[in-house]
A and B are shown apart, each in its own frame.
Chain A
Amino acid sequence: MTPAPGGAPSPRVAITGLGLVTPIGIGKDETWAALLAGRSGFAPVESFDTSAFSVHVGAEVRGFDASPYFRRLDPASVGRASGLAIAAARLALDDAGLDEAAMDPREAVRAGVAMGTTSGEPREVERFDDAVLAGALDRIGPEFLARYPCHTIAAAIARELGFGGVNAMLPTACAAGNYAIAHAADAIAAGRAHLMLAGGADAFSRITYTGFARLGAIAPERCQPFDRGRLGMIPGEGAAVIVLEPLARALARGARIYAELAGYGLSCDAHHMTAAHPEGEGAVLAMARALSASGAAPEDVAYVSAHGTGTPTNDRLEVLAFRRVFGAGAPRVPISSIKSMLGHTMGAASAIEAAACALAIATGRIPPTANLEDPEEADLDFVANRARERDVPLAMSNAYAFGGNNASILLRRWAPAGG
């Protein structure tokens, strides 16, 4: 047999809760309304001084206080990304109609967490660096080790909720959310957990901003995926958490089922650290593997959530890969990038996009690509600027990352009869 680095979870895995903390809204409803309305979250960066840069705009989660979402942990004991993640986790759990306080302890020890990130808690190392440069090593205390390592994000969620099952942190950069969702589905399918919170989180960071600025990748004002005039991405921050559980368990407890995770596909370009493969090789493989794992054909896909960062290179290669997979049918498949509104929320991005796909399936609406004035390829349907009413039985979400990591997931509408 030829192994495919992708999988279709068996037993089937249902998505029953969504928690979002984004630059354009707190919670599923607020964020979804903003996405459908085409509202963007770009503003001058507040969390550090950008005067040394030639760009100054970011997509921060402004004025957000995570502390109301904490019941057990001290909010000051964790870093910013963990705070965003705990808020998203609690929103997701509430959305799924679950309450950890009411959970049987035998269930809680089999409930797990899988989270993705790009930079983890970069503000903690930035504080460390400030102390070093100030010649004040004595300012560095036990909090650095307690708050900096990225696995503290997944650990903080589990501590806050009392979950004793699998606890995984996947720092696979900008595809990390999809990696975490895939891993969570595998844990459920293997019988190692019966409830998983999965997603991604990243905090706005001067290190990340500096890096993308040095790559010349940051747009000065707005993000315009798939537009001929696009000037780059806009760094952002946020968190998204999705509740995954065996379909049978979701049905037994009468949970609302947004969608099923139909399958996923992973690949590695093994080509370049920061540039995608010139023929989109890895991206094509990831999509093909996800389709094959889901038992679906390209023509079954009703919506593609693009990685769509808005950099000239990403979008060109992504369209190339999309055409290679969807062939002559490509113009009939709506493909949009919500990074046009959210900016690039790094490790949170594909988790937020997975939630958007679940909502597209559940509500029959497709969020637009905002700021699209002069589409790169006139024959393709980028869902320009306006949300679309459309039945979405099957959605694909693609994510690509530094290190050549590619991850595609497919979400399918759950239907009681024959589903």
Chain B
Amino acid sequence: MRRRVVVTGAGQVSPLADSTDGLAAALRAGASALSPIDLFETAGLPCRQACEVRGFDPAATLGARNLRPIDRSGRLLLVAAARALEASGLDAEAGRARGVGLALGTTFCSVRTIAEFDRRSLELGPSHASPLDFANCVINAAAGQAAIWHGLSGVNATLAGGETSGLAAIAYAALAISAGRADVMLAGGVEELSFESFLGHLRAGRLCGASDPQAGELPIPFDAKRNGFALGEGAALLMLEAREAAAARGAPVLAELLGHGEAFDPSGTEEGLAAAVERAIAAALDDAGLAPADVDCVFASANGSVAGDRAEALGIARALGARAAELPVAAIKAMLGEALGASGGLQAIGLLATLADGLLPGIRGLERVEAGFPLGGATAATRPVAARRGLVTAAGADGHAAALLLGGREDVE
């Protein structure tokens, strides 16, 4: 028998805030995380901006234990996990006893750790490459470190896949809980900003702000002038739990995970990606036994990419039909940038806030959607919406699509 899955907490690290409430407030205020990059040298590159977590101080959350063996991806994740555990009222001992699992989305984990390990070995010889660093060269390193740090002895899975990987991880955890293979799992994702990832995205022509390195250029999802995205970073996790297990321990219940869906576009075309987004949303609705009219808002993954945003908008419009024309749409990557593995969790956290108090963040910088754009409810202004249920969608540059349907308190009760 299929069990119901609820959200009992969330935690995040992002460039805009330390807390989930702080993030919601910053998004609603239209704060931008865009700044010149501090983390690595950008001299000589045509783009020097990103959405970086500045002044990150993991020890403030994690205490004085030795963080040396843990890289930036691991540290971002450890802090987000600590916050999610705390928010859901599970301390270390209770978490250990309950065998908390972890499903983590990421694109690279730490390509910086991997590349520096390799370069050090090449420059100085293999005997200078550190075995400690090698432990972090596997792509499941952050998930493994979090399991050790927080005593997460349940299922431990890493799902790789760019913009959709966070939602894929949440879906993985939901499937495990609903089928009775787990009671409680952290699910979401992590991504660190690194020179390697930044240069890769720059060379692929994906980034905005690459025509004048001095000027800075905001990414504007869905806008007719959009010109690419800003690379971001962070970590974001939901605590997912079987409804009866959450009730039994008196956990706070923020929302119910009503459905999820995934699809892939094998054609590599805008049309194909739109169709994949449409199938993912249809699968999520079908999973929940709900209709397009039941969707009250969307937290889209649109990041300012010319083709990706259009494909996602088309896919949403087709899946939701008439409902799409007026549907309130948020696109938080206008403010946070594209945080890849962390994005799905950040979008879900944004939706949780909207389900709680009915305020939907506007899309910073949005002036004019392009002609024939199918989503009428994308606006620059933050506004109140009647949101009982909301979708989180994601469309990836490599063809992946994912959708998640969350319901607020009325569904839980």
Contact = CB atoms under 8 A, between A and B. Distances in A.
B is bound to A? yes
Contacts of A272: 148
B114 A207 contact: yes
A140 B199 contact: yes
A266 interface: yes
Interface in B109-155: 109, 111, 114-115, 117-119, 121-123, 125-127, 129-131, 134-141, 143-145, 147-148, 151-155
Contacts of A404: 144, 147-148, 156
Which of A4, A214, A271 gathers most chain B CB within 10 Å?
A: A214
Interface in B79-114: 99, 101-102, 107-109, 111, 114
A12 interface: no
A154 B266 CA distance: 11
Interface stretch (B200-208, B249-257, B289-297, B357-365): B200-208
B213 to A, nearest CB: 15
Contacts of B181: 3-7
B404 interface: no
Contacts of B366: none
Given A165-B264, A168-B159, A211-B129, A190 B400 contact: no
Nearest to A215: B131
A400 interface: no
B264 A151 contact: no
A387 interface: no
A233 B69 CA distance: 24
B276 A164 contact: yes
Interface stretch (A34-42, A155-163, A408-416): A155-163
Interface in A142-173: 142, 144-146, 148-152, 154-155, 158-159, 161-173
Contact of A3 (B115, B130, B182, B263): B182
Interface stretch (B20-28, B172-180, B326-334): B172-180
B321 interface: no
A149 B398 CA distance: 10
Interface string A277-288: 000001000000
Contacts of A170: 157-160
Contacts of B162: 149, 151
Interface stretch (A60-68, A122-130, A244-252): A122-130
A179 B160 CA distance: 13
- Chain A, interface size: which category? 35 or more
B398 A129 contact: no
Contact of A158 (B151, B159, B264): B264
B70 to A, nearest CB: 9
Given A53-B126, A133-B123, A172-B157, A270 B148 contact: yes
A109 B276 CA distance: 9
B399 interface: yes
A402 interface: yes
Contact of A128 (B99, B160, B196): B196
Contacts of B274: none
A405 interface: yes
B309 interface: no
B262 interface: yes
A183 B172 contact: yes
A43 to B, nearest CB: 20
Contacts of A173: 138-140
Nearest to B143: A403
Which of A159, A164, A213 gathers most chain B CB within 10 Å?
A: A164
B122 A109 contact: no
Contacts of B267: 159, 162
A113 B205 CA distance: 28
A206 interface: yes
A33 interface: no
A192 interface: yes
Given A145-B200, A267-B153, A112 B264 contact: yes
B134 A403 contact: no
A402 B279 contact: no
B268 interface: yes
A167 B172 CA distance: 12
A47 interface: no
Interface in A115-142: 117-120, 122, 125-126, 128-130, 132-133, 137, 140-142
Nearest to A186: B175
Given A52-B125, A151-B400, A164-B266, A402 B107 contact: no
Contacts of B126: 52-53, 210, 213-214
B159 to A, nearest CB: 6
Contacts of B118: 125-126, 129, 206-207, 210
B158 A172 contact: yes
A268 interface: yes
Given A166-B262, A167-B399, 20 more contacts: A117-B139, A125-B118, A132-B115, A144-B203, A149-B398, A164-B275, A164-B276, A165-B263, A169-B160, A170-B159, A186-B175, A192-B283, A210-B126, A211-B134, A214-B126, A214-B130, A266-B155, A268-B153, A270-B156, A405-B156
In the A-B complex, the 10 residue pairs with the smallest Cβ-Cβ separation, listed nearest first, are A403-B144, A171-B139, A211-B134, A268-B156, A167-B264, A273-B135, A145-B200, A151-B161, A145-B204, A270-B147
13 contacts: A3-B242, A5-B181, A120-B139, A137-B44, A151-B400, A162-B266, A165-B264, A167-B262, A214-B129, A215-B131, A268-B153, A282-B153, A402-B140
Interface of A: 1, 3-7, 52-53, 108-109, 112-113, 117-120, 122, 125-126, 128-130, 132-133, 137, 140-142, 144-146, 148-152, 154-155, 158-159, 161-173, 179, 183, 186, 189-190, 192, 206-208, 210-215, 266-274, 282, 401-405
